[in-house]
């Protein structure tokens, strides 16, 4: 049984889908006008991992996962004007880049990727419905959602009215009846992207996009709605209000799942703060997508994740260790038996996607496998012993794959020269320890490299190494 922390209930709840044969999940996707930074990559990786877990628990065909593409937005329009091109030139370029970068992080494309510009009709239909039912009004080419018309507004974020209108107070638009009202439709000037509507030529607000696409592609009420913590208010609050008011009170989602921020120093990584590092930059520097994925999963998804060079190095070191041992244990066809490690990792993930717990379990399992292997290195393996270890190896790989890790082969992982650099660094560390007469550390490093299949040879001109 999967347990998920539901932001609406403020507690962990057992995940019981309405229809286990067609589980519906919607995650707010990218606004495509620039490269995704590592903070944007976090929800993509988190919800990809949740999707894997749901499919593992309920069956491969059990989940319909939708993630939208916001391809009409003021920032896109500004970027297009700055380059003197159509908005579609910008959005196609950066959607391709997004899919490429997320693909490198092992994120599978969602089942459905609705684009805002392709879904104007359902949005206009929902806006009409909201006007007809007294929840929205047209004014000066705009259509606004009337927040006072919805007594339950604020149910997700639990903010009081003062907090909700704090930002709106700064510049209350004259056409708003209430400072908390938000835009469903806005006019487009000549030369700006727009569509004909009953309220004149214009374009949709951001919030209505998700409500309309959820109904068009999934349902009035879906199982899981996900996104980053920063979307709770106002975006998700507004989605809830629009959908519930358009659907006679039916809730938009049964479970609300939100991931925490990626922090740079003491601040949240965000484009507006200018402290971003993009997935593309990191990949271009030679970091593996899998290293970045492990780094993103190293903290619990609801906790803040401080992003540092050290975290990337540490994640690579873990994968070097994992792949290093796998390289030395031969795979065999497992008879489908489930070892303890698989059950342990599964249990951690079932408990609100506890990826740090699952990673820790895998790391202690690798220590155990390493000991197995040491025994083989020192005392010639028996066939049965070798087979048992290889079985453990399969279970180890399958456990890691629940999180989208270890999908590569050890050969592919160690193909680049990065591994050699790590070995040289260890040798330098050992030489330093010897110089300081810290022979315990020097011996430990030699031993660690040995179990990874690296033999050190001390000679008159220094230390050389070779693979066992
Ligand atoms: Zn959304």
Q: Both tokens of residue 341?
A: 């490690």
Query: Which run of H or of E encompasses 463?
Result: strand 462-467
CA 40 – CA 171 distance, rounded (Å) = 28
CA 138 – CA 145 distance, rounded (Å) = 9
In sequence order, which residues have a C-beta less than 8 Å from that of residue 465 and are 6 or more positions away?
Answer: 423, 427, 449, 454, 455, 456, 457
Distance 452 CA to ligand 1 centre (A): 46
This prediction's pTM = 0.86
Distance 27 CA to ligand 1 centre (A): 7
Distance 213 CA to ligand 1 centre (A): 9
Whether 453 contacts 465, CB under 8 Å:
no
Distance 207 CA to ligand 1 centre (A): 6
Distance 202 CA to ligand 1 centre (A): 20
What pLDDT score was predicted for residue 167?
67
Whether 349 contacts 53, CB under 8 Å:
yes
Beta strands in 188-271 (DSSP E): 202-204, 222-228, 253-259, 262-264, 267-268
CA 242 – CA 251 distance, rounded (Å) = 10
Distance 228 CA to ligand 1 centre (A): 10
Distance 29 CA to ligand 1 centre (A): 7
Distance 236 CA to ligand 1 centre (A): 6
How does DSSP assign 124-152, residue by residue? HHHHHHHHHTTSEEEETTEEEE-GGG-TT
CA-nearest of 265, 128, 132 to 184 is 128
What pLDDT score was predicted for residue 36?
96
User: For the CA atoms of 271, 272, 274, 275, what is the dihedral angle to 10 degrees?
Assistant: -70
Strands 3-6 and 11-14: antiparallel
In sequence order, which residues have a C-beta less than 8 Å from that of residue 393 and are 6 or more positions away?
Answer: 326, 329, 330, 331, 369
Distance 238 CA to ligand 1 centre (A): 9
Distance 240 CA to ligand 1 centre (A): 10
Adjacency order of strands within the sheet including 262-264: 267-268, 262-264, 305-306
Distance 253 CA to ligand 1 centre (A): 12
Beta strands in 281-389 (DSSP E): 305-306
CA 424 – CA 321 distance, rounded (Å) = 15
Distance 145 CA to ligand 1 centre (A): 16
Q: How many residues does the chain have?
A: 468
DSSP three-state, residue 441:
helix
What pLDDT score was predicted for residue 335?
47
Distance 26 CA to ligand 1 centre (A): 8
Q: Which residues surround ligand 1, an ion (CB under 5 A)?
A: 28, 210
Distance 179 CA to ligand 1 centre (A): 22
CA-nearest of 21, 6, 117 to 352 is 6
- Per-residue pLDDT 10s for the chain (468 aa) are 999 999 999 999 999 999 999 999 999 999 999 999 999 999 999 999 999 999 999 999 999 999 999 999 999 999 999 999 999 999 999 999 999 999 999 999 999 999 999 999 999 999 999 999 999 999 999 999 999 999 999 999 998 888 877 766 667 789 999 999 999 999 999 999 999 999 999 999 999 999 999 999 999 999 999 999 999 999 999 999 999 999 999 999 999 999 999 999 888 898 888 889 999 999 998 899 999 999 999 999 999 999 999 999 999 999 999 998 888 776 655 444 546 899 999 999 999 999 999 999 999 998 888 777 676 656 655 666 666 677 788 889 999 999 999 999 898 898 754 566 677 778 888 988 888 889 999 999 988 888 777 888 887 777 877 766
What pLDDT score was predicted for residue 459?
79
Going by the DSSP 8-state scheme, the letter that residue 448 receives in this structure is: H
Distance 340 CA to ligand 1 centre (A): 39
Distance 54 CA to ligand 1 centre (A): 21
């Amino acid at each position: 049984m999967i347990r998920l922390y539901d932001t609406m209930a403020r507690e962990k709840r057992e995940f019981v889908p309405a229809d286990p044969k067609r589980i519906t999940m919607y995650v707010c996707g990218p606004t495509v006008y620039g490269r995704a930074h590592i903070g944007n990559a976090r929800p993509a990786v988190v919800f990809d991992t949740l999707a894997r877990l749901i499919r593992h628990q309920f069956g491969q065909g059990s989940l319909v996962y939708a993630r939208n593409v916001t391809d009409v937005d003021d920032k896109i329009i500004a970027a297009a004007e700055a380059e003197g091109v159509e908005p579609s030139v910008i959005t196609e370029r950066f959607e391709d880049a997004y899919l490429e970068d997320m693909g490198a992080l092992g994120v599978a494309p969602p089942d459905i990727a609705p684009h805002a510009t392709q879904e104007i009709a359902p949005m206009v239909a929902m806006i009409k419905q909201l006007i007809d039912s007294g929840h929205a009004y047209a004014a000066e080419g705009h259509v606004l959602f009337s927040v006072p018309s919805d007594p339950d507004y604020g149910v997700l974020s639990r903010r009081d009215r003062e907090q909700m209108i704090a930002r709106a107070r700064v510049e209350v638009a004259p056409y708003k009846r209430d400072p908390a009202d938000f835009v469903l439709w806005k006019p487009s000037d000549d030369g700006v992207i727009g569509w004909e509507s009953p309220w004149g030529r214009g374009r949709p607000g951001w919030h209505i996009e998700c409500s309309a696409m959820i109904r068009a592609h999934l349902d009035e009420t879906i199982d899981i709605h996900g996104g980053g913590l920063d979307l709770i208010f106002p975006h998700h609050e507004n989605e809830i209000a629009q959908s519930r008011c358009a659907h006679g009170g039916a809730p938009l989602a049964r479970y609300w799942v939100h991931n925490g921020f990626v922090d740079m120093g003491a601040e949240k990584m965000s484009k507006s703060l200018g402290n971003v590092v993009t997935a593309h930059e990191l990949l271009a520097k030679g970091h593996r997508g899998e290293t970045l994925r492990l780094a993103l999963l190293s903290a619990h998804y609801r906790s803040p994740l401080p992003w540092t060079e050290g975290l990337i190095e540490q994640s690579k070191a873990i994968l070097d260790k994992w792949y290093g041992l796998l390289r030395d244990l031969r795979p065999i066809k497992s008879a489908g038996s489930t070892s303890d490690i698989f059950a342990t990792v599964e249990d951690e993930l079932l408990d609100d996607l506890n990826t740090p717990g699952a990673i820790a379990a895998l790391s202690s399992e690798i220590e155990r496998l390493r000991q197995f292997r040491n025994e083989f290195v020192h005392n010639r393996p028996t066939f049965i012993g070798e087979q048992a270890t290889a079985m453990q190896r399969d279970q180890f790989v399958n456990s890691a794959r629940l999180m989208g890790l270890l999908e590569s082969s050890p050969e592919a992982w160690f193909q680049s020269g990065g591994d050699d650099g790590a070995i040289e660094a260890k040798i330098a560390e050992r030489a330093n320890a010897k110089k300081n007469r810290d022979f315990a550390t020097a011996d430990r490093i030699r031993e660690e490299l040995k179990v990874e299949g690296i033999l050190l040879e001390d000679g008159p001109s220094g230390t050389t190494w070779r693979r066992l």
